Amino acid sequence: QVKLVESGGGDVQTGGSLRLSCKKYSGYIAAHYCLGWFRQAPGKQREGVAVLYTYGGTYRADSVKDRFIISMDALNNTLYLQMNNLQPEDTAIYYCVAAEVSLCNTRPPLKDGAHYWGQGTQVTVSS
């Protein structure tokens, strides 16, 4: 059973930074898979924010491309999302996800969802 646990959310003012972490505990996903971040804001559609492919490469949504960085510490099975210059529209619950290749390789990636989800962490950006 794959378990994903997020941390690092919180309250920040406009222009501030946060780093989200996602620890992957136990479980086998697949030989090749991807990890990523979704966000869900009240009254808005779920949005795929960033994806890291364990077989190479990353993806970031246009809305965050110049501000967010996704990375991974493979030794510690931890995924990160460095969020800089945060704006009020970034306010949302952020979910760490993992998926097998079939869902990773859609365009945009993970548009059909993910196989595994964390519990979510709240990010609130105040103006």
Helix runs in 10-125, H state only? 101-104
90 secondary structure, DSSP code: G
Q: For 28-43, what is each residue's pLDDT tens digit?
A: 877 889 999 999 999 9
Distance CA 68, CA 99 (A): 21
Distance CA 70, CA 53 (A): 10
Q: Coil, helix or strand for 29?
A: coil
Q: What is the pLDDT of residue 6?
A: 96
Which pair of structure tokens corresponds to residue 100?
Answer: 């097998």
Q: For 61-98, what is each residue's pLDDT tens digit?
A: 999 999 999 999 999 999 999 999 999 999 999 999 99
Average pLDDT over residues 19-35: 89
Q: For 103-122, what is each residue's pLDDT tens digit?
A: 999 999 999 999 999 999 99
